[in-house]
Structure 1
C-alpha cells in the first residue's frame, strides 16, 4: 500500500484537488463541468477554505506529492429544486453538514482513502458543535458509490423509487460521531 498524507487543503493543494474533481465529473459522471452543479470546483477557496464551518481535505500521495483524493464539507443543505422539497426542509442550511466532492483518482482507489477522508469530515462536523445532521447525495451509476455510502449511512430518499425515477439520485444521512 502506498503512503498518503490526509490533511486540510492549503492554497497550494487547490490545483491538484480541482484536477481530481474535474477528472471525476468528466470521466466518472460523464457530465463534464456544469456550472450550476460544479461551480464550487472552480472556486474551492471561497467555498471550502475561507468559511470557518467548511473544509476541504486532500489525500496526498507521499511518493510524488500529488493529490490522490478529495473530500469537502459545507453548511449548505440540499437546495430545492433540484432536490426534493422534503429533503431541503429536513436538512436546512446552517444546521446540516453536507459532504461533497468525495472523489478518488482511479489509480488510487481501493486504498481506503475515501473512508479515511469521510471519517475526518465527520470529526470536523462533530467538533463544530452546530451541525445536527450530516447529509449527502450520490449518483448510483458511479461504480461503488452507492455501496460505499450505504456502508456509512442510511438512505433517506431514493429518487429511483419515484414515478419516472426522478433524477436517479440517492440521498443519505450519515450519523455524527
Structure 2
C-alpha cells in the first residue's frame, strides 16, 4: 500500500478521476455513459467538490496516475429508479451514499477499494449528520458483490424482484464498518 496515496480530489484530479469512472461504466458495467445515471461522472466538481457534505477521493499510484475513485454524497437513493422501500429507508440529507468506488483492473486486490471506503466512512462519521450509509452495486461486476457483503448487509436484491428489476443489489454499510482499525484518527477532509 505504500505505492498508493488515497486523498481528496482537487480540480487537477478531475480528468483522471473521470477517466477511471468512464472506463468502469463502459468496461465493467457494459452500459456506457447513461446521462440520468452518470451525470456526476461528467461534472464531478459540482457533484462532489462543491457541496460541503460530499467528497471525492482518488487513489494515486507511485507514478502519479489516478487508478481508483470513491465518492460520497448526501443524496439518498431516489425512486425511481430504485425500489420505493429502499428510497424510503435511506432519505436524502441523512444518508451517506457511497458512489463510484472503482479501481482499475491492474490495481485491484491490493486493498485500494477497502482503503477508499474506510476513508469515505471516516468522512461520513466526522460529518455527524449521517444516520445511515447506503450503496448499490452491480453483482455482475467480478468481486463487487462479495466485497460489499464483507462490509455490510443486503437490504434489497433486485434479482429477486418480479421481472428482475435493475439486477442491482442494495446494501446497508455500518458507519463504523472499517473504523477505527483501518483508518487514521484524522478523517479525510477538505
TM-score (norm 2): 0.91
Q: How does 1:13-162 map to 2 (within 5 A)?
A: 13-62=13-62, 64-162=63-161
Shift, 1:70, TM fit:
0.2
Higher helix share: 1
Task: State whether structure 2 residue 13 is matched by structure 1 residue 10.
Answer: no
Deviations 1:23-50 (A, max 9, x none): 0001111111010000100100000001
- For the 8 Å contact 1:95–1:132, the answer to whether it is kept is yes
Shift, 1:2, TM fit:
6.3
**Following the alignment from structure 2 to structure 1, what is the Cα–Cα distance between the partners of residues 86 and 74?**
15
Shift, 1:65, TM fit:
0.3
Count of residue correspondences: 176
RMSD, aligned CA: 0.8
**Following the alignment from structure 2 to structure 1, what is the Cα–Cα distance between the partners of residues 19 and 142?**
20
Misfit runs of 4+, over 3 Å: none
What are structure 2's unaligned runs of at least 5 residues?
177-190
Shift, 1:163, TM fit:
1.5
- For the 8 Å contact 1:77–1:98, the answer to whether it is kept is yes
**Following the alignment from structure 1 to structure 2, what is the Cα–Cα distance between the partners of residues 2 and 104?**
16
TM-score (norm 1): 0.98
SS of the counterpart of 2:136? strand
SS of the counterpart of 2:150? helix
Deviations 1:89-136 (A, max 9, x none): 110000000000000001111111000000000000000000000000
